[in-house]
Amino acid sequence: MSQNENVLEISDLRTSFFIEGDEIKAVDGVTINVPKGKTVGVVGESGSGKSITSLSIMRLIQHPGEIVEGSISMNGEDLLSKSERQMQQLRGNQISMIFQEPMTSLNPVYTVGEQISEVYRIHQGLSKKEALTKSVEMLELVGIPSPKERIKQYPHELSGGMRQRVMIAIALACNPELLIADEPTTALDVTIQAQILELIKKLQSQLGMSVFLITHDLGVVAETCDYVAVMYAGKIVEYADVHSLFRSPKHPYTVGLMQSLPRHDIDQEELNVIEGNVPKPGNMPDGCRFAPRCPFASDICEKRLPDLDELENGNKVRCWIYSDEWDGKAEVNVVDDYKTAGNQ
């Protein structure tokens, strides 16, 4: 993968929150690229740092949070060295973002039209009238019926799915190169979820943008992503193209996530859940952060944090099982042995 194919390159990003003198490392050394025109998914449980990663890209981390280290560059330009003013010109223009909560993400005191037009007025300097005309077009594009009437409405007059469409319209108004979608469908009904994902996919191919999709839902990943990063406790534990990931997941955590998905093809007596919780920041394990919950954990896992190593096919995994130093059971098949390993 040569450099200029990537729209976004994040390397060794560290974002922390400083609360009462303690540093809470929400994102702890994340490296990830988003190739042009592709969709990269970031999966993980709540607290894995995936949303903070996306807000870091936008440089929207608020006090007491701070980007401590690393670099984020878009088309070769370093975002972290840009002034706030320069970032404002990028946001909503070249990089856009949509959020998890469509119900609360729109400003209740302005009409839908005002909120979409604002983007055109800021970034393209359009007049009120021109901006409104464009807003109507945009609403039409995201599939909102009778857009001319809709632009006069306030957010509380729209359903959740409609509001998320409006959010998408706002985000895509200026034809951005990169769309960051932070759990865009989590708060919606299942049928609406599918529609919204379909819409994002359709517009992506129409407009040729790249998508950075944050989700905790592997089903969404399977449907939409080209590449996937699995995050756990502030670090990436596995990075792979979507086919390899689902065909042969490498990290025990990824396997755990997949086995916790409800399956339709076999009879299931119960859902498998990963036991335990994401470690608390004040209480990070010294070794692999997943070790306390990992059925394969051996001595080395508890002592040293593994690196994110590249595998033969170019995918990456942060797990001792695949290193020469592995001191556990010789032949481990993470998928087949996952359920039984813990019981030994």
Question: In sequence order, what E strands does the chain have?
Answer: 6-19, 22-35, 39-43, 65-74, 77-78, 95-98, 178-182, 210-215, 227-232, 235-241, 309-310, 316-317
Smallest distance, other proteins to C-beta of residue 309, A:
27
Q: Which stretch binds other proteins (CB under 8 A): 68-76, 137-145, 166-174, 249-257?
A: 166-174
Q: Please give the single-letter amino acid code of residue 252.
A: P
Interface of this chain with other proteins, residues 109 to 128, rule: CB under 8 A: 109-110, 118-119, 122-123
Smallest distance, other proteins to C-beta of residue 286, A:
18
Q: Is 280 in the site for other proteins (CB under 8 A)?
A: yes
Q: Which residues contact 277 (CB under 8 A, 6 or more apart)?
A: none
Angle at Cα 224 formed by Cα 168 and Cα 98, nearest 5°? 25
Q: Is 84 in the site for other proteins (CB under 8 A)?
A: yes
Please say which residue, 141 or 300, places its beta carbon nearer to other proteins: 141
Q: Is 108 in the site for other proteins (CB under 8 A)?
A: yes
String of contacts with other proteins for each residue 28-67, x by CB under 8 A: ------------------xx-xxxx--x--x-xxxxxx--
Smallest distance, other proteins to C-beta of residue 295, A:
23
Residues 297/265, Cβ–Cβ less than 8 Å = no
Q: Is 331 in the site for other proteins (CB under 8 A)?
A: no
Q: Which stretch binds other proteins (CB under 8 A): 28-36, 104-112, 199-207, 251-259?
A: 104-112
Q: Is 308 in the site for other proteins (CB under 8 A)?
A: no
Smallest distance, other proteins to C-beta of residue 266, A:
32
Q: Which stretch binds other proteins (CB under 8 A): 34-42, 91-99, 316-324, 327-335?
A: 91-99
* DSSP codes joined into one string, 213-256: EEES-HHHHHHH-SEEEEEETTEEEEEEEHHHHHHS--SHHHHH
Please say which residue, 109 or 330, places its beta carbon nearer to other proteins: 109
Number of residues that bind other proteins (CB under 8 A): 50
Q: Is 184 in the site for other proteins (CB under 8 A)?
A: no
Q: Is 139 in the site for other proteins (CB under 8 A)?
A: no
CA 213 to each of CA 72, 82, 182, 231: distance values in angstroms, whole numbers, following the listed order: 17, 24, 6, 13
Please say which residue, 17 or 246, places its beta carbon nearer to other proteins: 17
Residues 157/144, Cβ–Cβ less than 8 Å = no
Q: Is 144 in the site for other proteins (CB under 8 A)?
A: no
Please say which residue, 18 or 146, places its beta carbon nearer to other proteins: 18
Pairing between strand 316-317 and 39-43? unpaired
Q: Is 93 in the site for other proteins (CB under 8 A)?
A: yes
Out of 40, 41, 42, 99, which residue is the one contacting other proteins (CB under 8 A)? 99
Cβ-based burial of 160 (10 A; exposed 0-12, middle 13-18, buried ≥19): middle
CA distance 55 to 50: 9
The tokens for 257 are 């996530």
Interface of this chain with other proteins, residues 207 to 266, rule: CB under 8 A: none
Q: Which residues contact 301 (CB under 8 A, 6 or more apart)?
A: 287, 288, 291, 294, 320, 328
Residues 270/86, Cβ–Cβ less than 8 Å = no
Contact residues for other proteins (CB under 8 A)?
A: 17, 24, 26, 46-47, 49-52, 55, 58, 60-65, 84, 88-93, 96-97, 99-101, 103-110, 118-119, 122-123, 154-156, 167, 170-171, 278, 280-281
